[in-house]
Structure 1
Amino acid sequence: MSGGRAAGVLIGIIAAIAICAALSLAETLLVPIAFAFFIMAIVWPLQKALQARLPKMVAVLLTLIITLAVVGSILSTIVWGLGHVGQWIFNNVARFQAIYVEAADWLESHGFVMAGLFTEHFDVRWMLRAVQEVSTRLNSLVAFLIFTFIYVLLGLLELDALRSQVARLERRDTSAFLLAAGADVAARLQKYMLVRTLMSAATGLVVWAFTLAAGLELATAWGAIAFAMNYIPFIGPFVATMLPTTFALAQSGWELALVVFVCLNVIQFLSGSYLEPRIAGKALSVSPFMVLFAIFFWSFLWGLPGAFIGVPILIAALTVCAHSASAKWVADLLSGREAPEAAVY
């Protein structure tokens, strides 16, 4: 590798690290903006329909109220479910402690000598505090939502003006690119959330029915948690599977826990890996590897909000690449689809 090329690669790596550091440091500023753009893309059809019948300001306010009600209901569902789980932990601390001591004894009898050390320092109240911490963080989202919806309000009011200014750009190719890419991004994000909502509702209903039939306590809470957590790919279903499994272990032992673990994994697999891709179709074709990377990358930078917004950011970026002649290969490469075979003459 020549010296100039090596220097260019090094500069690129340094620039990427600097950008990631800036994104992380500016989390408080950028996360509400990212969510605001995402929400505007989702609710624009609703505002457009209302605006055709009502004054613009009234349409925007109604759109915000409806959106806030939907977001608030989902967050309330998580808080309600985790609240019931926390109460159940508080009432059954002795069960978890006994299970842990039994497991530690079994491990020690099979040569795992460190198990005794963990037993001395283990306290089931850690689990209760973890559940309470999650609930507290969810309740603290009020300030975040206020800033986000202020951005949404201002953005929706200016959206028509922005589109008209873009349409009047002197460079017609740039204007056409921005309008087409923006419309396509909004359409794909709307489809993403529609599919995600349908599959989340179906998953929550099936999890509720299964846990109820299996005799697991808090069946309604498990269904509610599965519904709400399914909005976060990979991480949400994992949490929604491991929590009921742990409680099945405390309630009835290893047999029920194993049944719950296997069945919930089957439910999550059919929902996320089989049905959802077929419902979404080619419009949301993204490499599963890149989906997982986006979730962990953005959660590393922005925490739980990043885990949610990571996939929409990836979809938006690949959609923009698909509309660019010079970057279309990036969208094709990361689509997760096989390249069409060359025609044989």
Structure 2
Amino acid sequence: MRDQSVPRAVIILVGLAAGVIVLFGIREVASIAGPVVLALVLVIAVSPVRNWLARRHAPIWLQVALPFLIVVLVLLAMVGIITISATQLASLLPTYTDQFRQLVADAQRWAAAHGLSNDVLSRGLQAFDPGRVLGLAQILLGSLIGVLSALFLIVVLLLAMSLDAPVTSKVLTAGEGYRPHVVTALATFAHKTRRYLIVSTVFGLINAILDMLALSLLDVPLPLLWGVLALIANYIPNIGFVIGLLPPAMLALLDGGVQTMLLVIAAYCVINVVTQSFILPKFLGDAVGLSTTMTFISLIVWTFVLGPLGAILAIPLSLLTRALLIDSDPSAKWAQALVSGKRPAGRPAQGRARRVRGGGSSGRR
């Protein structure tokens, strides 16, 4: 009998084409999809509060109202701080025109003394223009203000999801007998997302406070703004530290000179290495379940789809995609290993299997 199965290459190509169509479709409605995902992630983040109230038999209205109010107050505080600080930054930047010209003149004199042409220096200054770097911070903060300015939509979504959370939990529990893999995958997504958000937020706050103290000691303007930027950038994988460092370092260069900039860079590096490299992995562990390559690819893809908000939500969005497409499918163990960068459990390595077989045959001899 002739094999009528579809070739694997065709399945892969059709799957990739469908994925591209879905991503471009989400990009077209990014102004709606972004707040929806943000609301979902925030509801997942505060779900331990609702569970704690439920275990103590609190009334339903309190189980809904308290987590909802916590999220709304945090959002309002973030909107207020970012709006005021971004306004101060916009009014502060024009005052550094003379300092920037002086830096350019000093750099040209230093280049001439060391035999470098002004053309090389000009190209370097264009590439590392502090105004452009600070402008990137304004774009990021402006995009966040644009997302958070749709506060009414986010609040409505939060209220709706908070009201549905108890019912959704019961529905998922009841569905374990019908779709156990799907329910388990969604529960794992919620657990990993919640753990990632809580641990990242705690360490982001520690980083932000330490960064603000360092900037205040060095007399760098707007330390509160750069602390908030460090907290937000903490959710951006791979490049978040650089995004949080460059704007205050450039402002320190304009305000206090090269020495102040180097001190800011040194302080940020020490704080980041201690918290992110030594302490954070012990608490976060393997909660994310994504390899370094997949994390970086998810950052690029979701930033392309949802803009700056996609960069912040890259990890939760990738965890949701993994839960829906991979973890819910029992036959996709190889894909789980590919995404997480770990060998699937329950299968011995090829070399080990050969040694076992070889030992058995030698024993028979």
Would you call these one fold, judging by a TM-score over 0.5? Answer: yes
Q: In terms of mean alpha carbon deviation, does 273-282 or 290-299 score higher? A: 273-282
Note the C-alpha offset of 1:297. 1.2
3-state SS of the aligned residue for 1:140? helix
Deviations 1:185-212 (A, max 9, x none): 2221111111101111111122223334
**Cα distance change on mapping 1:128 and 1:209 into 2, 3 Å:** closer
State the match for 2:147 in structure 1.
141
Spell out, residue by residue over 1:287-307, the C-alpha distance to the aligned partner (whole angstroms, 9 max, x if none).
Answer: 122222212210111111111
Contact 1:166 1:178 (C-alpha < 8 Å) held by counterparts: no
Q: Give 5+ residue unaligned stretches, structure 2.
A: 1-5, 357-365
Report how many residues are paired: 340
* 1:328 is the counterpart of 2:333: yes
| Superposition map of 1:224-235 within 5 A | 224-235=228-239
Corresponding residue SS for 2:119? coil
Which of 101, 117, 121 aligns to 1:111? It is 117
Q: Which runs of 5+ in 1 are unaligned?
A: none
Tell me how far apart the structure 2 counterparts of residues 270 and 124 of structure 1 sit (CA, whole Å): 27
* 1:27 equivalenced with 2:33 (yes/no): no
SS at match of 1:282: coil
Question: Could you give the per-residue CA deviations for residues 192-247 of structure 1, whole angstroms, max 9, x where no partner exists?
Answer: 11110111111112222333444544444433432343233344321221112112
Aligned 1:29-44 pairs, distance under 5 A: 29-44=32-47
How many angstroms does 1:179 deviate by?
2.9
Instruction: Report 1:23-172 matches (<5 A).
Output: 23-51=26-54, 52-103=56-107, 110-113=116-119, 134-168=140-174, 172=177
Identity %: 21
- Contact (CA 8 Å) 1:47, 1:59: kept in 2 or not? yes
SS in 2 for 1:240: helix
- Structure ID, larger Rg: 2
Instruction: Give the secondary structure class of the aligned counterpart of 1:92.
Output: helix
TM-score computed with the length of structure 1 as normaliser: 0.81
1:195 to 2:199 alignment: yes
User: CA 1:125/1:39 → structure 2, altered by over 3 Å: closer, same or farther?
Assistant: closer
- Listed as ranges, the matches of 1:9-28 within 5 Å are 9-28=12-31
Measure the CA separation in 2 of the matches of 1:57 and 1:67: 16
Match of 1:298 in 2: 302
- Report what 1:279 is aligned to: 283
The Cα RMSD (Å) is 3.5
Alignment match, 1:211:
215
The one-letter amino acid of 1:20's match is L
Q: Which moved more, 1:289-298 or 1:266-275?
A: 266-275
Moved more, 241-250 or 44-53: 44-53
Which is worse superposed, 185-194 or 92-101?
Answer: 92-101
Q: Is the 8 A contact 1:107 1:113 kept in 2?
A: no
Distance 1:129 1:138 in 2: 14
